[in-house]
Amino acid sequence: MNQKTKAISDKKIIGIAGLAWMFDAMDVGLLSFLLVALQKDWNLTTEEMSWIGSINSIGMVVGAFIFGVMADKIGRKSVFIITLLLFSIGSGISAFVSSLAIFLLLRFLIGMGLGGELPVASTLVSEMVSSEKRGRVVVLLESFWAAGWILSALIAYFIIPEWGWRTALLLSALPAFYTLYLRFHLPDSPKYHQAKQVQKPSILDNMKGVWSAEHKRQTFVLWILWFSVVFSYYGMFLWLPSVMVMKGFSLIRSFEYVLIMTLAQLPGYFTAAYFIEKIGRKFVLVVYLIGTAASAYVFGNSDSTTLLLTSGIFLSFFNLGAWGALYAYTPEQYPTSIRGTGSGMASAFGRIGGVLGPLVVGYLVADDIPISVIFTIFTVSILIGVVVVQIWGKETKQTVLQD
């Protein structure tokens, strides 16, 4: 391990990786608000709106798989920088398009960057902190996702009504400049370099290893868990501002309420960060996912502003706390040689749910299916993930990562 890697503190690695995570979340959050604005500007149908969200997730499927595998071949740091550049530049270019087809193509490329950056970042951070603090540090890294969503809600509230959605997209291109800082100040994983000196397995060997007899149980758990969480998250949160408009609120009031709900993500992360080392990963996943399911059901069936806002706040609180635990839990299931591949493949499979979630909402709304029924579907999805992790998931609290 070189001196530069030794010297970097937990706070610094959280800050460096966390800012990139925040930019990632800002882009995803902005997309949920852009759907409302684009519908008005381009006269989009609900089916076309759903495809904007889903093409983004299709890109995330491809990106999570390709860049997860690449992280085990060329290093975590290099892939981290590539993915950040991809979604930043893509977002900036999309501000200038006037064709839905070109916008969809760019959203695919942006999705590749987004999907690749998240599992690679969590893998990098997991390998650079001690086992006693690893879960808490990764959840705190995930808390930057809430900061990114809050930032996107602020941009949507103050920028889009006054300056338009194109200006908002230009702002989302600024993270590209952050890669210059990462190039010189972010070290690569020492565990990755140690593993590469010992063995150099092929990409196919790594993929086979993920489903080997030794790892197939945890791979099964992760794939089902990721699918259920991502399917419900992107189905609900990408449509959240639009659902508020469907429930009768104005564009500005819808953005205002979603901003309030988004603020609840931060305490969700912080409480999850506390419990994940005190009690364990499975506890946080099960409890916070049950809380998500209950909140989703109530939100979908709400018929008053107070109940809608309250259930939306709890939905943000529990769902994002569960996300933090999921990113802490996933890299801990595999040895260093296949950790990037295993995390990337689980994330990629989950992103298939991210493709289907927005499509389900768009097409069911077009068929006049009530919002209550749609959110019940997401409730059931989340509960399936709860059952799987409770029965077959293994606890990894304070376990030393395998080399």
Q: What is the CATH number of the domain that holds 293?
A: 1.20.1250.20
Burial grade of 329 (CB within 10 A; 0-12, 13-18, 19 or more) = buried
Question: CA distances (Å), 384 to each of 57, 204, 311, in order?
Answer: 21, 30, 21
197 is a domain residue: no
Give domain status of residue 373, yes or no: yes
Task: Evaluate whether residue 120 is within a structural domain.
Answer: yes
Question: Domain for residue 277, yes or no?
Answer: yes
In a domain, 94, yes or no: yes
Tell me the C-alpha distance between 221 and 200, whole Å: 27
Residue in this structure with the two tokens 């900061």, named with its chain if needed: 147
Q: What is the pLDDT at residue 251?
A: 74
Closest-CA residue to 296 (of 231, 217, 216, 204)? 231
Q: Which domain holds residue 31?
A: 9-181+209-392
Note the pLDDT of residue 275: 93
| Residue whose tokens read 């200038």 | 96
Tokens representing 120?
């690679």
Mean pLDDT across the chain: 87
Contact predicate 114/27, CB 8 Å: yes
Residue 80 lies in a domain: yes
321 in any annotated domain: yes
For 54-86, letters b (16+ CB in 10 Å) and e give bbbbbbbbbbbbbbbbbbbbebbbbbbbbbbbb
Question: Does residue 4 sit within a domain?
Answer: no
Taking the C-alpha atoms of residue 371 and residue 296, their distance in angstroms, rounded to an integer, is: 11
pLDDT of residue 53: 82
Structure confidence at residue 257 (pLDDT): 87
The per-residue pLDDT string of the chain (403 residues; one tens digit each, 9 = 90 and over) reads 343 444 467 788 888 888 888 888 898 889 888 888 898 889 988 888 888 888 988 998 899 889 988 888 888 888 888 998 998 999 999 999 999 999 999 999 999 998 888 788 877 888 888 777 877 888 888 788 888 988 988 998 899 888 999 999 999 888 888 887 887 777 777 766 666 666 666 778 888 989 999 999 999 999 999 999 999 998 998 888 888 888 888 877 888 888 889 889 889 988 998 999 889 999 999 999 999 999 999 999 988 889 989 999 999 999 989 998 998 899 889 988 888 889 889 988 998 998 899 889 989 988 999 999 999 999 999 999 999 999 999 888 766 666 5
Residue 192 has a pLDDT of 64
Q: 22-71: per-residue pLDDT in tens?
A: 888 898 889 888 888 898 889 988 888 888 888 988 998 899 889 988 88
Structural domain total, the chain: 1
